[in-house]
Amino acid sequence: MTKKVETMNNNVLQERKDKVFARGQSNAYPVYVKEAKNSEIWDVEGNRFIDFGTGIAVCNTGHSNPKIVEAVKTQIEKFSHTCFTVNPYEVAVELAEKLTKLAPGDSQKKTIFVTTGAEAVENCVKIARAHTGRRGIIAFNGCFHGRTNLTMGLTGKTTPYKVAFGPFPGDIYHLPYPTEFNDTSVKDTLIALKNLFKVDILPQDVAAIIIEPTQGEGGFYQTPIELLKELRRICDEHGIVLIIDEIQTGFARTGKMFNIEYAGIEPDLMTMAKGIAGGYPLSGVIGKAEIMDSPVPGGLGGTYGGSPVGCAAALKVLEIIEEEDLVSRANQIGDLFNKRLNELKSEFPELILDVRNRGAMIALELIKDGDVNKPNVELLKAIMGKATQYGLILLSCGFNSNVIRFLPALTISDEIANEGLDKFQELFRSLAKN
């Protein structure tokens, strides 16, 4: 009897996935990837998509970059794992040497490697507490720092990240985040911090302040340089560790190697992940040596932390960024998207509040009736729902869930970028005019 072979397509795979995956690990699109090259994806049905998300700013150097593929193959042929805290290896040491030189600021730096962004954030908190002997951590409304229990507590947005998952760790405090659209100024934020020190926790009990130089999930708002400089001053005054979360903004994404370079300040600790290794799981913390050395030997680490395969990929990522000048390319891409998306803003001022970018970290914020107080969640959902019909992979974000974020590969060609933007303009117009 001949066994029936079921035709493989997106619907069949989605049905199979729904039967075996918890609904909490949902997927934005029922599009199952068969192949991905640079800025394009092909699904199991042969459909082609222009990827404006790159796995949430992970594949800054493009999907399946042949230089990274070759570096990974070479490493795997040698060995794939020994656990760095048991038998270390040169590829991790070399990567740490390069990153400590690239990190902003003149202080001597040290690093650790772990596996995920949330793990990097948690280790920052551990290091800051070990260094200061203090308990409190201050974060910001709208921030995103991860999905573990501690990092959910730090994250400044409830839905969907915190729903039904509490209680969260104590000694975490949130401040209002200043943007021109939420009636919160830098002055307001600093007054809130002053009040926090008077009402809830003394500055000498605060271990760290953590902030994204450009908010990711919060809506791609750029943290005012004035605030970053003042936080640096306050932290210095009170012996507080300043943590800069560069998980989504690092590795040339914003037109600098690290986003914090725009502010001209030196972090005490800085997280790294996403774009660090071109799609291979790797993350890390880099910071001032005297702070990094605060935990006792064995206090930091993890079975897969500093994977030799991930480190080999990351070394090649750094090489590609330098050789192909992806820092400058990020700014060119940002200018291109800014121009094309502002064409839509001029056409639909009642629907588009703002087009903003820092390098190739680009956002389009949607409203109703030209009113900043009316986030257009419905239009965003409609755009996301139809994106694949136009051959696009898009991402959403925003404190009010009304922002489309664009994170194209920094290796995308102008031709493919413009093709994708043509498709996006067509999609937007089709919905805006209905």
Q: In tens digits, what is the pLDDT along the chain, a chain of 434 residues?
A: 445 445 689 999 999 999 999 999 999 999 999 999 999 999 999 999 999 999 999 999 999 999 999 999 999 999 999 999 999 999 999 999 999 999 999 999 999 999 999 999 999 999 999 999 999 999 999 999 999 999 999 999 988 899 888 899 999 999 999 998 888 999 999 999 999 999 999 999 999 999 999 999 999 999 999 999 999 999 999 999 999 999 999 999 999 999 999 999 999 999 999 999 999 999 999 999 999 999 999 999 999 999 999 999 999 999 999 999 999 999 999 999 999 999 999 999 999 999 999 999 999 999 999 999 999 999 999 999 999 999 999 999 999 999 999 999 999 999 999 999 999 999 999 999 77
Would 2 be classed as within a structural domain?
no
Residue 144 lies in a domain: yes
Report the CATH number that the domain containing residue 105 is assigned in CATH: 3.40.640.10
Q: At which of 323, 340, 365 does a domain end?
A: 323
**The residue type at 378:** E
Both tokens of 344, joined, read 């839509």
Residues 315, 94 contacting (CB under 8 angstroms) = yes
DSSP letter for 282, please: -
332 and 380 share one domain: yes
Residues 28 and 172 in one domain: no
**Cβ contact 109:278 at 8 Å:** no
* 285 & 335 share domain: no
E runs forming strands in 247-301: 269-272, 283-288
Among candidate residues 375, 427, 382, the one with its CA nearest the CA of residue 401:
375
Quick one: 283 and 358 in the same domain? no
**Structural contact between residues 175 and 147, judged by C-beta atoms closer than 8 angstroms:** no
Residue 271 exposed, middle or buried by CB count within 10 Å (0-12, 13-18, 19+): buried
Q: Are the C-beta atoms of 376 and 354 separated by less than 8 Å? A: no
Residues 329, 318 within the same domain: no
How far is it, in rounded angstroms, from Cα 98 to Cα 96? 5
User: Of all helices (H) and strands (E), which one includes residue 98?
Assistant: helix 90-102
Tokens of 275: 């774009």
DSSP label at 299?
S
Same domain assignment for residues 45 and 168: no
Tell whether pTM > 0.85. Answer: yes
For residue 400, CA distances in Å to 34, 125, 184, 376, 377 come to 33, 28, 15, 9, 8
Question: For residue 1, is it within any domain?
Answer: no
Instruction: Give CA–CA dist 412/330, Å, rounded.
Output: 10
Does residue 5 lie within any of the structural domains?
no
Query: Which residues fall within 8 angstroms of residue 69, CB to CB, at 6 or more apart?
Result: none
- What is the number of helices (H) and of strands (E) in the chain? 13, 16
Beta-bridge mates of residue 262: none
Report the C-alpha gap between 44 and 56 in whole angstroms: 21
From the CB of residue 16, how many other CB atoms can be counted at a distance below 10 Å?
13
Are residues 78 and 173 both part of a single domain? yes
The per-residue pLDDT for 434 is: 72
Residues 140 and 254 grouped into a single domain: yes
Domain extent at residue 128: 68-323
Please name the residue that has the structure tokens 């009304």: 402
Q: Is residue 239 part of a domain?
A: yes
Cα–Cα dist 209/136, whole Å? 9
Which of 274, 295, 323 is the last residue before a domain boundary?
Answer: 323
| 3, part of any domain | no
Q: Of 323, 341, 366, at which residue does a domain stop?
A: 323
Residue 253 is predicted with a pLDDT of 98
Per the domain annotation, does 56 fall within a domain? yes
Domain count, the chain: 2
Alpha helix locations (H) across 256-397?
289-292, 308-323, 326-347, 377-386
How many residues are listed for the chain in this entry?
434
Q: Tokens representing 110?
A: 């040290």
Note whether 29 and 44 are same-domain residues. Answer: yes
Question: Which CATH number is 351's domain given?
Answer: 3.90.1150.10
Residues contacting 12, CB < 8 A, separation 6+: 6
Same domain? For 86 and 203 the reply is yes
Question: What confidence score (pLDDT) does residue 6 get?
Answer: 58
173 and 310 share one domain? yes
Q: Say yes or no: 203 and 104 in one domain.
A: yes
Instruction: For residue 4, tell me if it sits in a domain.
Output: no
